[in-house]
Amino acid sequence: MTSEPIETALALLGRQGTYRVLRALLDGPMRFGELQGVTRLLPRTLSLRLKEMDAMGWVVREQFAEVPPRVEYRLTPAAVALEPLLRAVEAWAEEHA
User: What is the pLDDT at residue 97?
Assistant: 83
User: What is the pLDDT at residue 27?
Assistant: 96
* 1-38: pLDDT as tens digits: 457 989 999 999 999 999 999 999 999 999 999 999 99
Separation of alpha carbons 38 and 25, rounded Å: 10
The enclosing H or E element of 60 equals strand 59-64
User: What is the pLDDT at residue 2?
Assistant: 56
* 35-89: pLDDT as tens digits: 999 999 999 999 999 999 999 999 999 999 988 889 999 999 999 999 999 999 9
**Domain with residues 5-96, CATH architecture:** Orthogonal Bundle (1.10)
pTM: 0.89
